[in-house]
Amino acid sequence: MFNEPETTSEESKNYFTAVFDAARALDPQSRPMTGAFEKNSQPELCKCYQLCDFICLNRYYGWYIKGGPELVDAREAFLIEMNKWKDKNLNIPFVFTEFGTDTMAAEHKLPSIMWSQEYQNEYLDMNFEIFDQYDFVQGELVWNFADFQTTEGIMRVNGNKKGIFNRVRQPKSAAFVLKKRWESLD
Protein backbone atom coordinates (compact mmCIF):
# COMPACT_ATOMS: atom_id res chain seq x y z
CA MET A 1 0.00 0.00 0.00
CA PHE A 2 3.02 2.30 0.40
CA ASN A 3 6.78 2.49 0.11
CA GLU A 4 8.80 4.43 2.69
CA PRO A 5 6.34 7.16 3.68
CA GLU A 6 6.43 9.15 6.89
CA THR A 7 4.62 6.95 9.44
CA THR A 8 5.44 8.53 12.79
CA SER A 9 2.76 11.25 13.00
CA GLU A 10 -0.93 11.13 13.85
CA GLU A 11 -1.60 12.61 10.40
CA SER A 12 0.09 9.64 8.72
CA LYS A 13 -1.87 7.21 10.91
CA ASN A 14 -5.18 8.88 10.00
CA TYR A 15 -4.28 9.05 6.31
CA PHE A 16 -3.14 5.44 5.96
CA THR A 17 -6.00 4.11 8.08
CA ALA A 18 -8.38 5.62 5.52
CA VAL A 19 -6.32 4.17 2.64
CA PHE A 20 -6.23 0.66 4.15
CA ASP A 21 -9.93 0.80 5.04
CA ALA A 22 -10.84 1.82 1.49
CA ALA A 23 -8.62 -0.89 -0.02
CA ARG A 24 -10.09 -3.57 2.25
CA ALA A 25 -13.62 -2.47 1.37
CA LEU A 26 -12.81 -2.76 -2.34
CA ASP A 27 -11.11 -6.17 -2.13
CA PRO A 28 -13.63 -9.03 -2.25
CA GLN A 29 -10.79 -11.57 -1.83
CA SER A 30 -9.54 -10.06 1.45
CA ARG A 31 -5.91 -10.26 0.34
CA PRO A 32 -3.19 -9.42 2.87
CA MET A 33 -2.09 -5.79 2.85
CA THR A 34 1.19 -4.24 3.81
CA GLY A 35 3.55 -1.37 3.17
CA ALA A 36 7.33 -1.00 3.19
CA PHE A 37 8.72 0.92 6.15
CA GLU A 38 11.98 2.86 6.03
CA LYS A 39 14.47 3.45 8.83
CA ASN A 40 12.56 6.28 10.55
CA SER A 41 9.62 3.92 11.08
CA GLN A 42 11.16 2.44 14.19
CA PRO A 43 8.99 0.16 16.36
CA GLU A 44 8.63 2.71 19.15
CA LEU A 45 7.77 5.58 16.76
CA CYS A 46 5.77 4.08 13.90
CA LYS A 47 2.03 4.61 14.09
CA CYS A 48 1.06 2.60 11.00
CA TYR A 49 2.50 -0.90 11.37
CA GLN A 50 -0.74 -2.05 13.06
CA LEU A 51 -2.55 -1.58 9.74
CA CYS A 52 -0.48 -4.29 8.05
CA ASP A 53 -1.15 -8.00 7.81
CA PHE A 54 2.60 -8.49 7.53
CA ILE A 55 5.42 -5.97 7.85
CA CYS A 56 7.96 -5.08 5.17
CA LEU A 57 11.17 -3.39 6.23
CA ASN A 58 13.65 -1.58 4.01
CA ARG A 59 16.85 -1.47 6.05
CA TYR A 60 20.41 -0.48 5.23
CA TYR A 61 22.36 -0.97 8.45
CA GLY A 62 25.96 -1.09 7.31
CA TRP A 63 25.42 1.18 4.32
CA TYR A 64 23.37 4.32 4.95
CA ILE A 65 23.49 3.65 8.70
CA LYS A 66 26.92 3.03 10.22
CA GLY A 67 28.64 1.92 7.04
CA GLY A 68 32.26 1.04 6.43
CA PRO A 69 34.43 0.70 9.51
CA GLU A 70 31.27 0.83 11.65
CA LEU A 71 29.86 -2.47 10.32
CA VAL A 72 30.15 -4.03 13.81
CA ASP A 73 28.22 -1.06 15.21
CA ALA A 74 25.66 -1.41 12.40
CA ARG A 75 25.09 -5.01 13.45
CA GLU A 76 24.45 -3.93 17.04
CA ALA A 77 22.07 -1.13 15.99
CA PHE A 78 20.19 -3.56 13.76
CA LEU A 79 19.86 -6.07 16.60
CA ILE A 80 18.52 -3.35 18.91
CA GLU A 81 15.79 -2.52 16.41
CA MET A 82 14.93 -6.15 15.78
CA ASN A 83 14.68 -6.87 19.49
CA LYS A 84 12.22 -3.98 19.83
CA TRP A 85 10.09 -5.53 17.08
CA LYS A 86 10.35 -8.92 18.80
CA ASP A 87 9.21 -7.40 22.11
CA LYS A 88 5.99 -6.24 20.46
CA ASN A 89 4.89 -9.89 19.98
CA LEU A 90 2.98 -8.99 16.83
CA ASN A 91 2.64 -12.60 15.68
CA ILE A 92 2.80 -11.60 12.01
CA PRO A 93 5.46 -12.22 9.38
CA PHE A 94 8.19 -9.71 8.57
CA VAL A 95 9.78 -9.48 5.13
CA PHE A 96 12.91 -7.50 4.35
CA THR A 97 12.00 -5.89 1.04
CA GLU A 98 15.20 -3.88 0.65
CA PHE A 99 18.73 -4.25 1.94
CA GLY A 100 21.99 -3.84 0.08
CA THR A 101 25.21 -1.98 -0.46
CA ASP A 102 26.65 -0.26 -3.52
CA THR A 103 29.56 -2.19 -5.00
CA MET A 104 31.88 -1.47 -7.88
CA ALA A 105 32.09 -4.71 -9.86
CA ALA A 106 35.88 -4.53 -10.27
CA GLU A 107 36.69 -3.31 -6.74
CA HIS A 108 38.47 -5.74 -4.42
CA LYS A 109 40.04 -4.73 -1.14
CA LEU A 110 41.38 -6.52 1.92
CA PRO A 111 40.55 -5.61 4.52
CA SER A 112 37.22 -4.82 2.96
CA ILE A 113 36.05 -1.26 2.45
CA MET A 114 32.78 0.21 1.26
CA TRP A 115 32.26 -0.24 -2.51
CA SER A 116 34.38 -3.41 -2.61
CA GLN A 117 32.92 -6.81 -3.42
CA GLU A 118 34.34 -8.13 -0.17
CA TYR A 119 32.37 -5.50 1.77
CA GLN A 120 29.16 -6.39 -0.07
CA ASN A 121 29.67 -10.04 0.92
CA GLU A 122 30.37 -9.16 4.58
CA TYR A 123 27.33 -6.87 4.60
CA LEU A 124 25.09 -9.66 3.24
CA ASP A 125 26.45 -12.18 5.74
CA MET A 126 25.75 -9.76 8.60
CA ASN A 127 22.15 -9.27 7.44
CA PHE A 128 21.59 -13.02 7.01
CA GLU A 129 22.94 -13.72 10.49
CA ILE A 130 20.44 -11.24 11.94
CA PHE A 131 17.48 -12.41 9.86
CA ASP A 132 18.10 -15.97 11.00
CA GLN A 133 17.85 -15.00 14.69
CA TYR A 134 14.17 -14.08 14.44
CA ASP A 135 11.46 -16.62 13.63
CA PHE A 136 9.09 -13.87 12.52
CA VAL A 137 11.40 -12.93 9.62
CA GLN A 138 9.86 -14.90 6.79
CA GLY A 139 11.38 -13.32 3.70
CA GLU A 140 14.28 -11.31 2.33
CA LEU A 141 14.69 -9.49 -0.94
CA VAL A 142 18.07 -7.94 -1.65
CA TRP A 143 18.10 -4.57 -3.41
CA ASN A 144 18.82 -5.01 -6.34
CA PHE A 145 19.04 -7.65 -9.07
CA ALA A 146 21.41 -5.60 -11.24
CA ASP A 147 23.12 -2.23 -11.25
CA PHE A 148 21.09 0.47 -12.99
CA GLN A 149 21.43 4.04 -14.16
CA THR A 150 20.25 6.93 -11.97
CA THR A 151 20.57 10.68 -12.22
CA GLU A 152 23.99 12.18 -11.70
CA GLY A 153 24.97 13.12 -8.18
CA ILE A 154 27.62 12.82 -5.51
CA MET A 155 25.93 9.81 -3.86
CA ARG A 156 26.23 7.47 -6.85
CA VAL A 157 29.08 6.55 -9.17
CA ASN A 158 27.39 6.32 -12.58
CA GLY A 159 24.18 4.84 -11.18
CA ASN A 160 22.94 2.59 -8.41
CA LYS A 161 25.47 -0.19 -7.81
CA LYS A 162 23.59 -2.28 -5.28
CA GLY A 163 23.04 -4.98 -7.87
CA ILE A 164 24.10 -8.55 -7.43
CA PHE A 165 24.86 -8.44 -11.14
CA ASN A 166 26.57 -5.59 -12.97
CA ARG A 167 24.98 -3.53 -15.77
CA VAL A 168 25.77 -6.19 -18.40
CA ARG A 169 24.31 -8.91 -16.16
CA GLN A 170 27.56 -10.53 -15.11
CA PRO A 171 27.59 -11.78 -11.51
CA LYS A 172 29.41 -9.99 -8.74
CA SER A 173 30.78 -12.28 -6.02
CA ALA A 174 27.63 -11.52 -3.96
CA ALA A 175 25.60 -13.55 -6.46
CA PHE A 176 27.43 -16.62 -5.23
CA VAL A 177 26.88 -15.63 -1.59
CA LEU A 178 23.14 -15.48 -2.28
CA LYS A 179 23.19 -18.74 -4.25
CA LYS A 180 24.89 -20.51 -1.35
CA ARG A 181 22.34 -19.09 1.12
CA TRP A 182 19.31 -20.00 -0.98
CA GLU A 183 20.58 -23.52 -1.57
CA SER A 184 21.13 -23.99 2.17
CA LEU A 185 17.62 -22.93 3.22
CA ASP A 186 15.10 -25.62 4.00
* Catalytic residue IDs: 4, 98
State residue 142 phi and psi, 5-degree precision: -70, 145
Nearest C-alpha neighbor of 57 from the set 30, 75, 78: 78
Cα 18–Cα 24–Cα 30 angle in degrees, nearest 5: 160
Could you tell me if 68 and 102 are in contact, meaning their C-beta atoms sit under 8 angstroms apart? no
| Rounded Cα–Cα distance for residues 101 and 156 (Å) | 11
